[in-house]
Amino acid sequence: MKEIYLAGGCFWGVEHYFRNIEGVVDTEVGFANGDALMPSPTYEQVYTDTTGYAETVRVIYNPEALPLDELLRCFFCAIDPLSLNKQGEDEGTRYRTGVYYTEHADLDTIRQVFDEVQSEYSKPLAVELLPLENFFTAEGRHQDYLVKNPDGYCHLPLKLFRYPRLVSDLRHLLGDEPDFVARMSNATALIKEEMGFFWVGFYLVGPSVPELVEGSESELILGPFQGSVACMRIGCGRGVCGTAWKEGRTVVVPDVEGFPGHIACSSLSKSEIVVPVFKENEVVAVLDIDSDELATFDPVDAFWLGRLVAVVSRS
C-alpha cells in the first residue's frame, strides 16, 4: 500500500469522492503543511485561515489497482486547478489545492501528470506540488463526514460520487465475460439504471452497406442501447457520433441545436456526449449518451465515461 496527501478544497467532499474510487483502501482527513509552531490545530483554528494549514485528505491506495498517475487524474478531475485559494464557494488558504508526497520516488510520476494537465491550459496551475511537511488528523466528526451527514454541505457535484461507484459496479458486473456485445449490453443497462440518462447506447464500427451510405468502407452501426428507437447507421464524420469516431476524441455537446450536422433521433434530446471506445489504439465503437436537459455533460462526465468505456473494452 502507498499513500499520498491531496488538498482539493473542503475535505468533506474530497474524502467522500476518494473513498468511492476503486483502488483506494483508506482515507483520513486532516490539516497539512502548516505552521510547525502550531502543531495539532483544531478545525476552528484552521478555519481562521491564520495557521497556514490546508484541509487535506490522506489517501491510502493499492498501486496495482490504481496507479498513482490515474489517482492524480481522478484528483484533477475534482478540482479547479487554476483557482488560487478557492474551490467552489469556499475561499481561503485552507482551501488551497496541493499534492503533498511522502516518497521522493513518486515525484517523476507526479510531475508528469502536472505537465500533462498544464498543457491543457494557457494559465499556470495554482496547485502546489511539495513534500509533505506535517499532517495532523482532524477531529472525529470530520472523518467520513458525508457518510455521517448524507445531506451535509459539499462543494463537489453529486456525479463525482456516482461515477466512481458506477465504474466499480460495472467492473464487478462484467467480470471476465469475453463477449464485447454482452459487455456493452449490460453496460448500457447499468448506466441507464444508475445515472438515469435519457438515451444510452453504443454504435459499433462495421462494414458499410454501399446502397445506404456512399463513399466509405466502414460506418457506425447501432449496437446495444437503452432508450427510444434510434438511427441505425452513421457515416464517418457525420453527426456527433461520427465526429467522435473520426477524430478519436470525446465530444461534449451542451446544446444539440448548436452542433452542425447533429443527427436528431429524438426531439427530446437536448444535450449529448460521445466517447470513443478504443481497442489497440483503434476506435472500435462509440458510447453515445443523450440527455433531455441542456448542458448535462462536462469534463467530469468525459473523464469518468472514458474510464468506464475502458472497463467495457478491457483496455
> Which residues participate in catalysis according to the annotation?
10
CA distance 279 to 281: 5
Cβ–Cβ < 8 Å for 74, 4: no
How many residues bind to ligand SME according to rule CB under 6 A?
14
Residue window 194-213: x/- pattern of binding to ligand SME, with contact defined by CB under 6 A: -----x--------------
Q: Does 288 bind ligand SME (CB under 6 A)?
A: yes
Shortest Cβ distance from residue 241 to ligand SME (Å)? Answer: 3
Task: Give the residue with the Cβ less far from ligand SME, 265 or 309.
Answer: 265
Shortest Cβ distance from residue 290 to ligand SME (Å)? Answer: 5
- The torsion angles phi and psi of 65, rounded to 5 degrees, stand at -85, -30
- The torsion angles phi and psi of 175, rounded to 5 degrees, stand at 50, -130
Task: Give the residue with the Cβ less far from ligand SME, 98 or 227.
Answer: 227
Rounded to whole angstroms, what are the CA distances from 201 to 29, 168, 190, 219, 294?
39, 19, 11, 16, 19
> Near ligand SME by CB under 6 A, which window of 80-88, 107-115, 141-149, 228-236?
228-236
Q: Which of 263, 268, 284, 302 forms a contact with ligand SME (CB under 6 A)?
A: 263
Q: Does 275 bind ligand SME (CB under 6 A)?
A: no
CA distance 168 to 174: 10
Q: Does 8 bind ligand SME (CB under 6 A)?
A: no
Task: Give the residue with the Cβ less far from ligand SME, 129 or 189.
Answer: 189
> Near ligand SME by CB under 6 A, which window of 9-17, 100-108, 263-271, 295-303?
263-271
Q: Which of 9, 34, 52, 239 forms a contact with ligand SME (CB under 6 A)?
A: 239
Q: Does 277 bind ligand SME (CB under 6 A)?
A: no
Q: Does 240 bind ligand SME (CB under 6 A)?
A: yes
Residue window 162-201: x/- pattern of binding to ligand SME, with contact defined by CB under 6 A: -------------------------------------x--
Residue numbers at the binding site for ligand SME (CB under 6 A) = 199, 230-231, 234, 239-241, 262-263, 265, 269, 272, 288, 290
